[in-house]
Amino acid sequence: MASAEHIKQGFMLSKTHKAGLLNFLSAQGILVFFLICMLAFSLFSEQFLSQSNIMTVVRQASIIGIIAVGVTVVIIGGNLDLSVGSMLSFATVLVVDLHDKIGPVGAILVMFALTLMLGAVNGFLVGFMRLNSLIVTLAMLSAIQGLVLIYSGGQNVDIANQSETWFSVFGQGYLLGIAVPVIIFALLAVIVQVVMSFTGYGRRIFAIGGNPVAAVYSGIRKNWCVFSTYLTSAFCVACAALVLGSRVMGSQNNVGQGYELLVLAGIILGGTSLLGGAGSIWKTVIGVLILGFIQNGLLLLGYPYYTQWLVTWVIIILAVWLDLANKRKRLLTRHS
């Protein structure tokens, strides 16, 4: 019997819904683990909980965070977006390269326009053509990577006169003592969270992710809604590219490689289900910050950066087991 349940939970076969409380508990399990880590880090490193260190962590996490905000919307709507990494490379290379050619304003406008267009292609294929989002965005990952390389001719790009442009403000600037990337991250997170929680649009996205058929039977224009989630995701990628390009003032043509996975890892750690119809931006923010703090803590303790990957793996397995424990509990209560 148990394995029948498993099958139903299986990859893209069916959708199940977790009760809110249990969801909360499993997210809390992660939080507990996170707090233990934080405690351990702060015991062994005085620096760890210093204000400047915390700000550094948040600033470093902001690029992944900004993208994750958009991808969370796609996931709540019941789809996936694997193309964000390539899209980030695309947007960053574009904005950096165009900066010297047509000036920062033009570069930013063109970058946003073209990135949104890529998002529209994703959205069209998944929303209107109703193709499998995993394969579509996988194909787009490869295609966009190719586009970047074709555009840049395989060369890395740089901004020539780095000291004389206001473009650096997005990645390096501070406003009222807070790093601009953090402000962008926070603003986007708050705006998107508000939209998802308090608007009819957000309600519709949750409905589509929860039960696409019932959503259509309620007169919701599923095609357009799904389309728009990919635009949101592309917009967030463009914002992240702004920060990344401006921080580095140059770009390798594969700068975004692997970002899609870090973003997904952050979202999963936050406790948003990949099945759609549930989740929230603040969970994602927490997940991304967990990733950031663990990375930072391990570095401060003198461990090399890649140990964070191992820890991430362990946490994901832990989350998976916790989820299972919850499911068991639920089964028990249901039968008693």
Is 294 an interacting residue with respect to other proteins (CB under 8 A)? no
Is 176 an interacting residue with respect to other proteins (CB under 8 A)? no
Strand-pairing partners, residue 158, are 250
Is 310 an interacting residue with respect to other proteins (CB under 8 A)? yes
Among 99-107, 169-177, 233-241, 264-272, the segment contacting other proteins (CB under 8 A)? 264-272
Is 277 an interacting residue with respect to other proteins (CB under 8 A)? yes
Contacts with other proteins: how many residues (CB under 8 A)?
88
Query: Alpha-carbon distance 158 to 284, whole Å?
Result: 32
Query: Alpha-carbon distance 237 to 47, whole Å?
Result: 32
Is 43 an interacting residue with respect to other proteins (CB under 8 A)? no
Residue 6 or 50 having the CB closest to other proteins = 6
Is 44 an interacting residue with respect to other proteins (CB under 8 A)? no
Residues 71-130 close enough to bind other proteins by CB under 8 A: 125, 129-130
CB-neighbour burial class of residue 297 (10 A; exposed 0-12, middle 13-18, buried 19+): buried
Nearest residue to 326 (alpha-carbon basis) of 75, 76, 20: 20
Is 68 an interacting residue with respect to other proteins (CB under 8 A)? no
Among 147-155, 174-182, 227-235, 240-248, the segment contacting other proteins (CB under 8 A)? 147-155
Is 203 an interacting residue with respect to other proteins (CB under 8 A)? yes
CB of 235 to other proteins, least distance (A): 17
Collect all residues with Cβ–Cβ distance below 8 Å to 174 and sequence separation of at least 6: 180
Is 217 an interacting residue with respect to other proteins (CB under 8 A)? yes
CB of 168 to other proteins, least distance (A): 29
Among 43-51, 71-79, 192-200, 279-287, the segment contacting other proteins (CB under 8 A)? 192-200
Region of residue 45 (left: phi > 0; alpha: psi -120 to 50; beta: else):
beta
Among 171-179, 195-203, 242-250, 281-289, the segment contacting other proteins (CB under 8 A)? 195-203
Is 214 an interacting residue with respect to other proteins (CB under 8 A)? yes
DSSP sequence for 136-187:
HHHHHHHHHHHHHHHHHTT--EE-S-GGG-GGGHHHH-EETTEEHHHHHHHH
Is 213 an interacting residue with respect to other proteins (CB under 8 A)? yes
Is 45 an interacting residue with respect to other proteins (CB under 8 A)? no
Residues 182, 55: contact at Cβ < 8 Å?
Answer: yes
DSSP state of 278: -
Is 9 an interacting residue with respect to other proteins (CB under 8 A)? yes
Residue 215 or 285 having the CB closest to other proteins = 215
Query: Alpha-carbon distance 217 to 319, whole Å?
Result: 34
Among 52-60, 157-165, 176-184, 194-202, the segment contacting other proteins (CB under 8 A)? 194-202
Is 264 an interacting residue with respect to other proteins (CB under 8 A)? yes
Task: Return the exposure string of 301-328: e unless at least 16 CB atoms fall within 10 Å of the residue's CB, then b.
Answer: eeeeeeebeebbeebeeebeebbeebbe
CA 170 to chain centre: 19
